[in-house]
Amino acid sequence: MSIAQNTETDAKLRCISCGATPASAAQDFRCSACGDLLEFFFPGWTSDSPAFDPAALKSLWLNRRTSRDALDQSGVWRFRELLPHISDPEEHVITLREGNTPLYRLPRCARAVGVENLHAKHQGMNPTASFKDTGMTVAASSAHQGGFRWVACASTGNTSASMAAYAARGNMHSLVLIPDGKISWGKLSQSLDYGALTCQLRTDFDGCVRILNELVRQKPVYLLNSVNPYRIEGQKTAAIELMEQLAWEPPDHIIVPGGNLGNSSAIGKALLEMRELKLISRLPKLSIIQAHGANPFYRSVREFGGKKLEPMTADTLATAIRIGNPASWKKALRVLQATGGEVEEVSEVEIAAAKAEIGADGIGCEPASAVTLAGLKKLRRSGFVKSGEAVVLILTGHLLKDPDFTIKFHRGDLFAGTGDAAEAVQTKHLQRAPVVLDADLGAVIAALDAAERNSK
Ligand code: F0G
């Protein structure tokens, strides 16, 4: 077993802090010299001797859309020229045809926010219903290539479901560590069905991460959290696919939720690499939004100028981003600064309202994804986003992940008895509680007529 770097590829590992370039990564994917995170870089991509002809690359990627080959049909491996190489792909690549996610216009949200051009890239339309699949296909394939029998992750839900599916497809065993009682039933049920050994630990996500980091030092288990740089590489493809969908004309802003901060790092890395390779001519501003109750990165940037990050005990109903000690904060800071993006925080009520507004556009997403629209509203108010600018929200997870949250919101119970109850009154107009009636035609017609009157 090894996490050896493949010598056939141009991709090399480098520490983000001390710049060390180890030939292979340790089990915890941390630099053995300074303990910081590793990333892939591609030394062959120099601006003096272009590695690729941008036009030829774009047309190769487009042509693969018509191919019958499993790798080409994946919205991740279709872009394999920008990914670390996996040897013998027939044998080692595990794909569920991830990626290929739709880009939707959000006309009602656009009107409500006051921007003319608003799109959502819906990463919840991946095979296990979150963006995690795009990174998981690459990292799980790397585990398979390394001959691992066990893979493992700590998760707030989506990573565990994704990992369990890819492990099962690749005939590997998977170990899931999740916070007891703090993840959605939908996600837990996915892990169980896909055959993971699922441990609900009496702690939070950050506590699960601590235990897992110890475990991988003692057991031959392959770590699949987003500190694994293969995850980041796969997650880059959401941004590449987005640019292709926009005919390689970058939007002015891309807005992402921030939890452990792997996804923002990945999307930012892709933007910078695409500019370096002349696939795009300018950079969108990448902004990162956190929930107020889980805002260590927001505070790091706003209070400490990004010089340090103070871990916190996180608390938010957006369980996916209930993270107080984000592993990839330095990577995210770098892309925030390089693209000129902003960091914002939003309240629980703002998240719930934004989720219902996205839903009213016929799209729907999980609470963590809705922070993007809530954040956009604030960025519009502050003037950072202008009305004529093009904006893309990255929706990271599916509406059906958290039906409890959604039903409670529409019934008006979500904030009952909490400190947010007063603020939540403002969201009444967005609530659409189910109507319970007798099985009587007249009652249904009366409900229909009343709804029609109210819709005017
Ligand atoms: N949105 C969703 C739906 C998520 O599941 C997550 C993270 C994020 C946003 C934040 O992304 O961590 O890369 O900044 N979910 C984790 C999990 C950590 O275990 O599924 P991030």
285-317 tens-digit pLDDT:
999 999 999 999 999 999 999 999 999 999 999
In this prediction, residues 319-346 reach a mean pLDDT of 97
DSSP-derived secondary structure letter, 77: G
Which atom of ligand 1 approaches the CA of 156 most closely?
A: 19
Q: Give the per-residue pLDDT at 8.
A: 40
Token code pair at residue 302: 């706003």
Whole-number percent of the chain with pLDDT over 90 = 93
Q: Give the per-residue pLDDT at 10.
A: 81
Q: Give the per-residue pLDDT at 1.
A: 43
State the Cα–Cα distance between residues 345 and 366, nearest whole angstrom: 17
Per the CB < 8 A criterion, the answer to whether 254 and 318 are in contact is no
Q: Give the per-residue pLDDT at 2.
A: 40
Is the Cβ atom of 158 under 6 angstroms away from ligand 1?
A: yes
Is the Cβ atom of 123 under 6 angstroms away from ligand 1?
A: no
Is the Cβ atom of 129 under 6 angstroms away from ligand 1?
A: no
Encode pLDDT of 413-449 as tens digits.
999 999 999 999 999 999 999 999 999 999 999 999 9
Best mutation site among 123, 130, 201, 289 for ligand 1 pocket (most ligand atoms within 8 Å of CB) = 130
State the Cα–Cα distance between residues 368 and 261, nearest whole angstrom: 13
Confidence of residue 4 (pLDDT cuts 50, 70, 90): very low
d(CA 384, ligand 1 centre) in Å: 25
Greatest Cα pair distance, the chain, in angstroms, is 76
Q: Give the per-residue pLDDT at 181.
A: 83
Is the Cβ atom of 368 under 6 angstroms away from ligand 1?
A: yes
Q: Give the per-residue pLDDT at 372.
A: 98
Q: Give the per-residue pLDDT at 81.
A: 95
Token code pair at residue 216: 């991988």
d(CA 68, ligand 1 centre) in Å: 31
d(CA 259, ligand 1 centre) in Å: 6
State the Cα–Cα distance between residues 113 and 115, nearest whole angstrom: 6
Q: Give the per-residue pLDDT at 239.
A: 98
In this prediction, residues 370-374 reach a mean pLDDT of 98
Over 50: is that where the pLDDT of 171 sits? Answer: yes
Burial class (CB in 10 A: 0-12, 13-18, 19+), 319: buried
d(CA 262, ligand 1 centre) in Å: 8
Is the Cβ atom of 191 under 6 angstroms away from ligand 1?
A: no
Per the CB < 8 A criterion, the answer to whether 244 and 58 are in contact is yes
Helix, strand, coil % in the chain, rounded to nearest 5: 45, 15, 40
Confidence of residue 275 (pLDDT cuts 50, 70, 90): very high
Residue 253 region by backbone torsions, left for phi larger than 0, else alpha for psi between -120 and 50, else beta:
beta
Q: Give the per-residue pLDDT at 182.
A: 79
Over 80: is that where the pLDDT of 9 sits? Answer: no
Confidence of residue 44 (pLDDT cuts 50, 70, 90): confident
In angstroms, how far is CA 265 from the centroid of its own chain? Answer: 10
State the Cα–Cα distance between residues 142 and 92, nearest whole angstrom: 8
Cβ partners under 8 Å of residue 41, min gap 6: 11, 12, 14
Enumerate long-range contacts of 54-61, CB under 8 Å, 24 or more apart.
54/277, 54/278, 54/279, 57/81, 57/277, 57/279, 58/244, 58/248, 58/279, 61/240, 61/244
Nearest partner of 327 among 181, 228, 221, 183, judged by Cα: 228
Q: Which residues of 339-349 are buried (b: 16+ CB within 10 A; e: fewer)?
A: bebbbbbbbbb
Torsion of CA 415, 420, 422, 423, to 10 degrees: -110
Over 80: is that where the pLDDT of 398 sits? Answer: yes
Encode pLDDT of 278-288 as tens digits.
999 999 999 99
Which atom of ligand 1 approaches the CA of 154 most closely?
A: 19
Q: Give the per-residue pLDDT at 183.
A: 81
Encode pLDDT of 200-251 as tens digits.
999 999 999 999 999 999 999 999 999 999 999 999 999 999 999 999 999 9
Nearest partner of 40 among 167, 142, 133, 164, judged by Cα: 142
d(CA 204, ligand 1 centre) in Å: 14
In this prediction, residues 350-358 reach a mean pLDDT of 98
Nearest CA to ligand 1 atom 11: 259
Over 50: is that where the pLDDT of 367 sits? Answer: yes
Q: Give the per-residue pLDDT at 7.
A: 41
In this prediction, residues 14-31 reach a mean pLDDT of 95
Q: Give the per-residue pLDDT at 290.
A: 98
Q: What mean pLDDT value characterizes the chain?
A: 95
Q: Give the per-residue pLDDT at 50.
A: 73
Nearest CA to ligand 1 atom 15: 320
Beta bridge pairs of residue 441 = none
Residues in the chain, overall count: 456
Which atom of ligand 1 approaches the CA of 161 most closely?
A: 20
Is the Cβ atom of 397 under 6 angstroms away from ligand 1?
A: yes
In angstroms, how far is CA 169 from the centroid of its own chain? Answer: 22
d(CA 157, ligand 1 centre) in Å: 8
Beta bridge pairs of residue 104 = 120
Is the Cβ atom of 369 under 6 angstroms away from ligand 1?
A: yes
Torsion of CA 380, 385, 386, 387, to 10 degrees: -60
173-179, strands of its sheet edge to edge? 197-201, 173-179, 150-154, 221-223
State the Cα–Cα distance between residues 224 and 160, nearest whole angstrom: 9
Nearest CA to ligand 1 atom 7: 320
Q: Give the per-residue pLDDT at 45.
A: 86
Q: How many CA atoms lie within 13 A of 432 on its CB side?
A: 12
Over 70: is that where the pLDDT of 390 sits? Answer: yes
Helix (H), strand (E) at residue 318: none
Whole-number percent of the chain with pLDDT over 70 = 97
Residue by residue, DSSP assigns 359-428 as HHTT----HHHHHHHHHHHHHHHTTSS-TTSEEEEEE-B-GGG-HHHHHHHHHT-TTTTSTTHHHHGGGG
Per the CB < 8 A criterion, the answer to whether 127 and 77 are in contact is no
